[in-house]
Structure 1
Amino acid sequence: MPADEQPIPSVWARPRREREQPALSREHIVAEAVRLLDEEGAEALSMRKLGNRLGAGATSLYRHVANKDELFELAVDEVYGELPLPEPGDATGWRATVARVAHGLRDMILRHPWMAAKLGEVGLAYLGPNMLRQTEHTLAVFEAAGFPLDEADRAMNTVVAYVLGVSTSEAAWLSMVARSGKTQQEWVERLWPAAERAVADYPRLRARYAAQRESDPAKDNETSFEYGLQRVLDGLQSRLG
């Protein structure tokens, strides 16, 4: 087959096979894949392991999903289905709606920490039906605010990029804490002596660390996220004049 006729490597770029085993549908496979990813992380996912959890051989899975990359595409879109669809209102309420979208996306990633690393690696994930619906509705919110469609797309991508940038670090932190078997506060207490030694020669960092010594890390993260989000929205607001 000529190179320009090679199939596009994405589950969203090929027709879905209609013949399905009643006991093992694509939906069943994807739901179990998400559970496995939530419990054990992205590195643990394999067709063989997933087949064992489903009581089926890996060959049975290949009737529905061509490879592990397609499985990740499907899992990402499945999780996107958890997000409520935003509805455009009047032009004055767009910031609150976009903020809810941003917080929902962050919460989704923190519930499924494997998402943070995989969102940038899953090929044509943006063609998944759940992600398409979310994108269409979010664009409508920006349009209702007064952004032309091309700028609405850029504005939406800017907000999403901010959420992903912050949430990737948060998800990595939460995964590390989860592996330790401790709470966030317990892990911070354990880490604190090393952190204090590390910043001893840096007065501004030393002052910031001292100010955060007794704070709740989860609340601090929420406050920092909200601050950054509002500054992004300030910038977008300025575009509306």
Structure 2
Amino acid sequence: MANAVDLLDTQGIDGLTMRRLADRLGAGAMSLYWHVDSKEAVFDLALDSVLAYREPAQTGKAQHWRADVIHMLEDWRACMLRHPWSASLLPRRALGPNILGRLERLARTLSRAGVADADLNAGIWSLWNYVMGATVTRGSFDRSDDDRAAAQQRLRDLSQHYPTIERSRLLLDDDWDGAFRRGLDFLLDGIAPRRSKAQPR
């Protein structure tokens, strides 16, 4: 799958064809079908391969459940930012073992922290949507310093209409990692069960 991932990284989703993949492998396009059924299957395998979870460094001490969740989601976002095409594919592809493993780990951590079964799916989908949205926005909102300064100047010129976002200098803020982490804290404050706030697990 390394060749398919590299092709997706350099050419994007539309740039992956069975012929191009075969050329990289030094094989005939038809011979690939002995190994995969279709280009769609290549997408599935490539996507799942880049979403393998990286365990946190072992410190010898048990972590609070929030630290575990934060690591899971920051790692997930980092995987997708390294391979921007993955965020476009994930919502419409079959879920492979790596992403299912991530979801199981997330669900198990939230459940052990005391999140009720009735709230578990809402918590998982809220976090999924947050990671996906943050990743797509970061990938598509990559502007130069000059572009961001010009956009902020336009906001300043229109400040009578948009005073709050002009005052917060929204379009100049490029601390994507910090914003992701603070937003995640907001979400986890809402998901956290009362007793887990008082008694870390």
TM over 0.5: yes
The 5 Å alignment of 1:139-218 reads 139-149=107-117, 151-174=119-142, 187-197=144-154, 200-201=157-158, 202-209=162-169, 213=172, 217=174
Match of 1:132 among 100, 103, 109: 100
Deviation string 1:180-231 (CA, Å, 9 cap, x unpaired) is xxxx6xx12245225422552133333233x765x6x2xx111211121011
Amino acid at match of 1:108: C
Q: Once the 2 structures are TM-superposed, how far is the Cα of residue 46 of structure 1 from its aligned partner?
A: 0.9
Instruction: Say what the alpha-carbon RMSD is for the aligned residues.
Output: 2.7
Amino acid at match of 2:188: L
The 5 Å alignment of 1:14-163 reads 30-84=1-55, 93-122=64-93, 124=94, 126=95, 128-149=96-117, 151-163=119-131
Higher relative contact order (CA 8 A, sep 6+): 2
Which aligned segments of 4 or more residues in structure 1 are displaced greater than 4 angstroms?
A: 238-241
Q: What TM-score do the two structures reach when normalised by structure 1?
A: 0.69
Contact 1:86-1:141 at 8 Å conserved across structures: no
Runs of at least 5 residues in structure 2 that lack an aligned partner in the other structure: 197-201
C-alpha distance in structure 2 between counterparts of 1:198 and 1:51, whole Å: 50
C-alpha distance in structure 1 between counterparts of 2:57 and 2:92, whole Å: 26
Q: Once the 2 structures are TM-superposed, how far is the Cα of residue 73 of structure 1 from its aligned partner?
A: 0.8
Runs of at least 5 residues in structure 1 that lack an aligned partner in the other structure: 1-29, 175-183
Aligned-pair identity (%): 32
Instruction: Report the count of equivalent residues.
Output: 191
Contact 2:72-2:102 at 8 Å conserved across structures: no
Amino acid at match of 1:169: T
